[in-house]
Each structure stands twice: as structure tokens, then as C-alpha cells.
A = this chain, B = another copy of it.
Amino acid sequence: MGPTLGSSGASDLFQLLRDGSPRTRAELAMTTGLARSTVALRVEELMSLGLISPVGDAQSTGGRPSSQFALNPSAKVVLAADLGATHATIAVTNLSGTIIGEFSGPIDIADGPEAVLDWMIETGRTLLRERSLSTADVIGIGIGLPGPVEYSSGRPVNPPIMPGWDHFDVPGFVRQHLEVPVLVDNDVNIMALGEQAFAWPQIDNLIFVKVATGIGAGVISGGRLLRGAQGVAGDIGHVQIARGAGIACQCGNHGCLEALASGPAIAHSLAGLGLEVETNSSVIELVRRGNMDAIQAIRQAGRDIGEVLTACVSLMNPSVIAVGGSMAAVGEHLIAGVREVIYTRSMPLATTHLTIVQSAAGKNAAVIGASILAIHHALSPEGIDRMAL
């Protein structure tokens, strides 16, 4: 990674203003080390792009008051898509990641990339039209997919539940219709970004755990999403747990976390007790009705997840663990199991300031994260230079 080499001073300034805090020209000059005259020119440039606006006057220190400038979040919009196996959400957001229009509906990811992405683009255009916006207002598109993605190319890699998508050039296809940067990542990574943006903007070390049909994590460390060597960082669903001995997993191994603590695994164990459960939502319904077996099973799933997360806490030293995904909708029972194990087993220094909570962004974590992914890219120094052309 390393420092940005771009030379556009306008984007240097903009990096400062992106946080939304208003600053004067003098403050910008002091922080960047640029000459006052240079700052003045560059502020003009960003104003002409519409990306920053004057926001009232700074407290006077004697003499005439100085104008302050800040990000103008409604200058442009991004399109954000959360494409799941059977359900999708498409949203239009402003430059702060706030949703200003949204559509959710059933899809079948197995229809293949052309059909699904065509639908996504059409839905996006409709959302824009409904808000009197056009594609010219869009500065980027963020897409979350339910499988591993090579982030640098935006191509899915051996996605198990996405027939026809393997190595498909998602950004290339979308850009045939909308000539803007297209960022693609897996659903859990964008949920981590969304959760952070929505609920923990000041937190640099966060693990988001999705518990649904599968189990996975998105890891933000030192303010950055970790992707790892093959882009599969956070794939904790197939770590073996103590209780798992002999229990077969779909992956071909035994004792995986997912084989014991995912929605289908819990449903399967409850069915074995004679309860009528087939789906994740029937498990949640049982828990809501106060069924003791279901509550016990969910609590134990939380402990299993906590067992794997204990090693993650030691390795990463996060300050927040947020648990989301459809199975987190059972309320505190799942989280209680996670907390029980992590707080019992971890070193005091690592847990003194550790918060373990249910996802606050909830169902919107993914679209917000997809939006953030696109915004970060579009408003990077390179992105600004591109816009200024």
C-alpha cells in the first residue's frame, strides 16, 4: 500500500475535508503544508466540481471572519447493490453513505451474471429517475456478492453457490452500461464496512461476524479491511471446534464451526429432538416463542462461535465484535453465548475495552458497505483527478 503518490494537491485537501468537518483555508494550509495561494486555487477547483461547499463562517479571532469548507454529501450519488443467493437490495446513497432510495426483491443468483447485473442496472436507473437523478450524477458503483471475490479484479473466484459467475468480469460488464468505477467484494466484507460506517465511525479495529446459512467474518484492522493473500481473510466458518468431533461438514472436513452453529445446523439439531424446523426463520420463530430447546441450541451456537472468535480476539485485538446475519435476529441469546466464551477465555488486556454486540446496521449493513466501498474509491486522490478531467 504505502502513501499515495498522486500529485494533485486538490485531492490532498479533499482527503482532509472528506470527514465532513468544516475547515478554513488557513487550517487547510497549515495541515497540508501547502502555500495559502495554492490552497485558494485548489479550494476553487473542488468547489467547481461541486464536492465541497462553504459552510458558514469560522469563529473570528479578530479581523473579518474566514469561510469554512466541508464535503457536500449531496453533490453526487453512488449505486450500491447487495446481491444475495435469493434476495437483493439496490440502493442510491449520497456521499456520506446515507440511503436516499432503496429497492429490495427476490432474485436467483443462479440466473447468471448477465441477467442479475442487467436487472441491477435497470433497478438502479429506476431508483435514480424516481429521485430526479440521472446516471451523470453517479460517481461509482459498489457491489456485494455471496461468495469469494478477487478484489483487485472484481471477479468471483470459485463461488460455491453462484453457477456461471466464476471469474466473470463484473466491473467490465457493468461499465458497458455505466462508465464509472465499479467495486466488488464479498458480502461479509461489505457488511463489516457498512457496520463500521453506520455505528462505529471512530473505531479502527472491528470484526463483523455474519451468522446465517453460512458463517463468515469481515475484519477491519488499523482502519483497513483485511483481505489476505487470496482474498479469503475472514473465512472462519470452517475452523474446527472442540465439540465438533466426528460431525461431517459440506466442505468435506469434520467438526467445522459452520457444521454446528449455522442456521441449518441448528435447525437440523432441533429436528433431531422432534421439533418441526426446516429453515433459519423457523428456528428464530421457535426462539421468539420461548422454546427452551431452541434457546439452548442458539446459546450453544453462540458459544461455538465464541470459541473460534477467542483466537481471533487474541490475534487482532479488536475493540468491537458485531454479530449480524439472519440468525442474529434471535436477539441476545446468540450474543450471550459468544460473550460467555470470549470473556471467560481471553486475556484481560484484550477484553477490557472489547464490546460484543448485535449488528446495529442490520439488514442495511451490506448496501451501506457497498456504498462506502464505492465512495472511498471515487473520492480517493486518483478518483478526484479522474473527475477533474
Contact = CB atoms under 8 A, between A and B. Distances in A.
Interface of A: 1-9, 12, 15-16, 31-34, 148, 157-158, 204-205, 217, 219, 221-224, 226-236, 238-240, 242, 251, 253, 308, 310-312, 314-319, 345-347, 349-350, 352-354, 380-381, 385
Given A4-B3, A12-B5, A221-B233, A317 B349 contact: no
A227 B318 CA distance: 9
A145 to B, nearest CB: 16
A340 to B, nearest CB: 13
A90 to B, nearest CB: 29
Contact of A229 (B3, B310, B317): B317
Contacts of A204: 229
Contacts of A232: 317, 347, 349-350
A311 B222 contact: no
Contacts of A32: 5-7
A3 B227 CA distance: 19
A33 B221 CA distance: 31
B315 A352 contact: no
A240 B242 CA distance: 11
B315 A316 contact: yes
Nearest to A229: B319
Nearest to A310: B239
A6 B345 CA distance: 43
A253 B205 contact: no
B317 A228 contact: yes
A223 B316 CA distance: 15
Contact of A253 (B16, B231, B319, B345): B345
**Considering the complex of A and B, which 4 residue pairs feature the smallest CB-CB distances, nearest first?**
A228-B317, A3-B4, A311-B311, A229-B319
A321 to B, nearest CB: 11
A255 to B, nearest CB: 9
Nearest to A38: B7
Instruction: Please indicate which of the listed interface residues A345, A346, A347, A349 has the most CB atoms of chain B within 10 Å of its own CB.
Output: A347
A318 B228 contact: yes
B221 A221 contact: yes
Nearest to A233: B317
A59 to B, nearest CB: 24
A337 B84 CA distance: 39
Contacts of A223: 1-2
A219 B311 CA distance: 13
Instruction: Please indicate which of the listed interface residues A3, A6, A12 has the most CB atoms of chain B within 10 Å of its own CB.
Output: A3
Contacts of A353: 229-230
Instruction: Please indicate which of the listed interface residues A3, A157, A236, A315 has the most CB atoms of chain B within 10 Å of its own CB.
Output: A315
Contact of A7 (B9, B158, B221, B347): B9
A69 B78 CA distance: 42
A150 to B, nearest CB: 11
Contact of A317 (B1, B6, B158, B230): B230
A312 B221 CA distance: 14
A347 B228 contact: no
A40 to B, nearest CB: 15
B205 A228 contact: yes
